[in-house]
Structure 1
Amino acid sequence: MNYILYAVPFFFALIALELLLDRWRGVSTYRFSDTINSLSAGVLSTTVGLLTKAVGLLTYTLAWQQLALVELSAGSLWVWLLAFVLYDFCYYWNHRLGHERNVLWAAHSVHHQSEDYNLSTALRQTSTGFIFGWIFYLPMAVLGVPPVVFLTVAALNLLYQFWVHTRHIPKLGWFEWLFITPSNHRVHHAQNAVYMDRNYGGVFIVWDRLFGTFQEELDAEPVIFGVTTPLASWNPLWANAQFYVALWRDALRAESWWDKLRIWFMRTGWRPADVAAKYPQSKPDLRQFVKFDVPLSLAQKLYAGVQFSLYVLGGTLLLGMGDKLSPAQMLLGVGWMAVGLYALGVWLENRAHAKRLEVARVLLNLPLTWLAVQLSLLSAGPLLWALLLGYSLVSLAALLWTPRTAVGVPA
């Protein structure tokens, strides 16, 4: 069962509830473009997962079949409880090293780039974590945890983490000692020096207390969310590429071949001495911290919101059809999503070429739909064409009607 797919309506319902709480309490924990960017990263992640989930599943299953020390039964309750705890223990180390090693941080940093903290941040996930993430869960296969149990507890672990991404829930007393809560997870998303690289557990905080990585949220030190190398973009593709590109550039600049290789696996932030001297990097002064933003008119926001809704619908449809799609169909779906979300990011940044890119994106939907019909991805050909033609015409008319504000990110 795809628990994440069935949870999607609840995710959006709880986000709506949090927005109502914002209004009721007279606070603002959401910003339009940041929220769309977080959700776009999540939609892209689940879509790319159609192509990449086999990496973790196949390696886990193969290890379970060939290396399992004992044969555990999926029908035993204690096996499920053991697997739930064991998964979180493996997650702790996956998560911790995801902060402590350059190449792993390149994948995980996507989740931390938002400078706001709300339930949409929980859905802001990496599209490249599959490259190394599977390694950390192989001990479960060796211990004999069946794949069906592994996949289920993995989904439950991820679902638990959704509710802790909020600023509306205070400290929870004794619960804080055993479980991850909104308070100790807010610490995890901070860029304040006192909070950085702390509280890695997914469900249980006990691992952090055992291994010395726990930090309580302090009343005297308000959390400033985000990363010390700001993304400064609303584009989910760049969000996934940013730190890889930074590492690649430093690797090319390094004179030593040893430095070119080891930079990927050194502690996060490590740079070759010659590169750091020639290309110094400054960190922002948190006392003067200003969140990244690009002014947009109400019309621009309305257009972006409607277009993004289409990609949420498309991503949900692809996720629901995942087991029935061929590799060619999956590639088509992922490509369509990536192009669309990239164009949406350009629109949110109010770049000079945003309208031209939007026209190209809308017109590209027509041949892509024809190709999808040819691949038998969609059966309702004539009806789909009629709907798509109407949508395209309305979108093009909206583009002509929507003026561009004067301020935007340079092209």
Structure 2
Amino acid sequence: MDFILYAVPFFFVLIAVELLADRWRGVSNYRLADAINSISTGVLSTTTGLLTKGVGLLTYAFALDHLALFKLSGDSVWVFAFVLYDFCYYWLHRMGHERNILWAAHSVHHQSEDYNLSTALRQTSTGFLLSWIFYLPMAVLGVPLLVFISVAALNLLYQFWVHTKHIPKLGWFEWFFVTPSNHRAHHAQNALYMDRNYGGVFIIWDRLFGSFQEEDDNEPVIFGVTTPLASWNPLWANVQFYAQLWDDAKRAQSKWDKLRIWFMRTGWRPADVAAKYPMNKPDLSQFRKFEVPLDGRQQIYVALQFCVYIALGSYLMNLERSLPTGALVLGWGAVALGLFTLGVALENRPWTLKLELVRLASNLPLMWLAPLIGLWPASAVGWVGLLSYSLLSGIGLYCCRNRFTRLAS
């Protein structure tokens, strides 16, 4: 059973509940652009995962067939696997904060300067490259593939609810499990909380291995990363830190430094590069969240367009097993282009209008190509629907054109 697929509607219901709680308590934990950016990275991660999850599954299956020391079975294997998965996740998560190459992937989840349930959906699209290594011990110990997939999904589902500011400390529960309080500390960029609380379900790993930090009422959490993303674009969010490492590697004089920078502790830079290209960390006492002014009409336009890509991402998830690879690639491309364009619109770039026209124009070849490779069946209803959507979007864009142009100039 695909637990994540069935949980998606509940994610959005709970986000709506949290918004109502915000309103009831007279607080504002959501900003439209930040929430769209967080969910966009989640949609991009999910659709990318449709094409890349075979990396982890194939390597796990290979290790299970050729390296397994035991063949585990029975009901008890589920409890064992659930606990063992979280132990492996702890070390993946910890190394994701402590090594440059892994932080490049994981940093996506920490870039939001808000903290709410939409932040939980903010996931990397490149984690598949190395994360599989940390779960090979489960295969060596003989945890069946189906059990591994299931406990991985349950672990991820558990982590959703802890991304909220509305739930206070939970007494004895804090000693054994990851909670909203100790996970808020994990998402902080304050020095007190930096690189702490790595568990997914169980906080006992952090207590055992010295990485636990309680949320301190005297040290309010400031969310985000010390090298701010300063962007609403989900594609740039996924490559920002890779680009920084690449630039430093190119600038380094030593060939050894060019190689080892990728595997050194997070924040390490070659001495010659750091001297010539210093990077000053922000003063948290002067911290201001990244913001780009947009008027109400622009926000409504982007929000409605974003709903289309949530729907397309959900469509790909639901029909993944029946769609050919070419259709999944085309669907991913449409999602990536759309989310990139909406990110540009949220940043109010001078070229927003031109890029948005390109996105809408791309619906014409998509209308012809999608049925041809099996993304959806050829039908007059589909053609009329896509043309109607493009036409209505064009009208909406026309109504917003002066606002984008004025604010961008």
Which category describes the TM-score, using the shorter chain as reference length? over 0.9
Question: Are the counterparts in 2 of residues 107 and 126 from structure 1 also a CA contact under 8 Å?
Answer: yes
Question: Are the counterparts in 2 of residues 60 and 134 from structure 1 also a CA contact under 8 Å?
Answer: yes
Residues 361-397 of structure 1: per-residue CA shift (max 9 Å, x gap): 0110121121110112211421110011111111001
- After the TM superposition, which residues 85-124 of structure 1 pair with which residues of structure 2 at under 5 Å, given as runs? 85-124=83-122
Question: Which of 277, 283, 286 is the matching residue for 1:285?
Answer: 283
Greater mean deviation of Cα atoms: 394-403 or 129-138: 394-403
Greater mean deviation of Cα atoms: 400-409 or 216-225: 400-409
Q: In the alignment, what sits opposite 1:42?
A: 42
Counterpart amino acid of 1:7?
A
Q: In the alignment, what sits opposite 2:138?
A: 140
Q: In the alignment, what sits opposite 2:58?
A: 58
TM-score of the pair, normalised by structure 2: 0.98
SS of the residue aligned with 1:281? coil
Q: In the alignment, what sits opposite 1:160?
A: 158
Question: Are the counterparts in 1 of residues 186 and 193 from structure 2 also a CA contact under 8 Å?
Answer: yes
Deviation at 1:265, TM superposition (A): 0.1
2:289 & 2:196 partners in 1: Cα distance? Answer: 22
Question: Which of 278, 302, 305 is the matching residue for 1:304?
Answer: 302
Question: Are the counterparts in 1 of residues 48 and 125 from structure 2 also a CA contact under 8 Å?
Answer: yes
Number of matched residues? Answer: 408
1:78 & 1:404 partners in 2: Cα distance? Answer: 61
Question: Are the counterparts in 2 of residues 350 and 407 from structure 1 also a CA contact under 8 Å?
Answer: no
Deviation at 1:221, TM superposition (A): 0.0
Counterpart amino acid of 1:60?
Y
Residues 119-150 of structure 1: per-residue CA shift (max 9 Å, x gap): 00000000000000000000000000000000
Q: CA RMSD in A?
A: 1.0
Greater mean deviation of Cα atoms: 381-390 or 285-294: 381-390
1:264 aligns with 2:262: yes
Counterpart amino acid of 2:175?
W
1:404 & 1:355 partners in 2: Cα distance? Answer: 10
Question: Are the counterparts in 1 of residues 188 and 222 from structure 2 also a CA contact under 8 Å?
Answer: yes
Residues 90-136 of structure 1: per-residue CA shift (max 9 Å, x gap): 00000000000000000000000000000000000000000000000
Residues 218-269 of structure 1: per-residue CA shift (max 9 Å, x gap): 0000000000000000000000000000000000000000000000000000
Counterpart amino acid of 2:320?
G
2:241 & 2:284 partners in 1: Cα distance? Answer: 21
SS of the residue aligned with 2:72? coil
Deviation at 1:330, TM superposition (A): 1.4
Q: In the alignment, what sits opposite 1:69?
A: 69
1:380 & 1:11 partners in 2: Cα distance? Answer: 32
Question: Which of 215, 218, 222 is the matching residue for 1:217?
Answer: 215
Q: In the alignment, what sits opposite 1:237?
A: 235
- After the TM superposition, which residues 236-385 of structure 1 pair with which residues of structure 2 at under 5 Å, given as runs? 236-385=234-383
Residue 408 and residue 86 in structure 1: after superposition, are their counterparts in 2 closer, same or farther (change >3 A)? farther
Which runs of at least 4 in structure 1 moved beyond 3 Å after TM superposition? 405-410
Question: Which of 206, 209, 215 is the matching residue for 1:208?
Answer: 206
Question: Are the counterparts in 2 of residues 39 and 123 from structure 1 also a CA contact under 8 Å?
Answer: yes
Residues 182-212 of structure 1: per-residue CA shift (max 9 Å, x gap): 0000000000000000000000000000000
Question: Are the counterparts in 2 of residues 295 and 405 from structure 1 also a CA contact under 8 Å?
Answer: no
Where does structure 2 lack aligned partners over 5 or more consecutive residues? none
Question: Are the counterparts in 2 of residues 108 and 126 from structure 1 also a CA contact under 8 Å?
Answer: yes
Deviation at 1:408, TM superposition (A): 5.6
Question: Which of 163, 184, 187 is the matching residue for 2:185?
Answer: 187
TM-score of the pair, normalised by structure 1: 0.98
1:96 & 1:15 partners in 2: Cα distance? Answer: 28
Counterpart amino acid of 1:115?
E
Residue 63 and residue 168 in structure 1: after superposition, are their counterparts in 2 closer, same or farther (change >3 A)? same
1:218 & 1:77 partners in 2: Cα distance? Answer: 40
Where does structure 1 lack aligned partners over 5 or more consecutive residues? none
Residue 98 and residue 77 in structure 1: after superposition, are their counterparts in 2 closer, same or farther (change >3 A)? same
1:279 & 1:409 partners in 2: Cα distance? Answer: 30
Deviation at 1:406, TM superposition (A): 6.9
Residue 123 and residue 409 in structure 1: after superposition, are their counterparts in 2 closer, same or farther (change >3 A)? farther
Greater mean deviation of Cα atoms: 350-359 or 161-170: 350-359
Q: In the alignment, what sits opposite 2:171?
A: 173
1:179 & 1:377 partners in 2: Cα distance? Answer: 42
Question: Are the counterparts in 2 of residues 350 and 404 from structure 1 also a CA contact under 8 Å?
Answer: no
SS of the residue aligned with 1:174? helix
Question: Are the counterparts in 2 of residues 236 and 341 from structure 1 also a CA contact under 8 Å?
Answer: yes
Q: In the alignment, what sits opposite 1:404?
A: 403
SS of the residue aligned with 1:404? helix
2:287 & 2:258 partners in 1: Cα distance? Answer: 33
1:4 & 1:300 partners in 2: Cα distance? Answer: 32
2:161 & 2:32 partners in 1: Cα distance? Answer: 20
2:249 & 2:408 partners in 1: Cα distance? Answer: 28
SS of the residue aligned with 1:337? helix
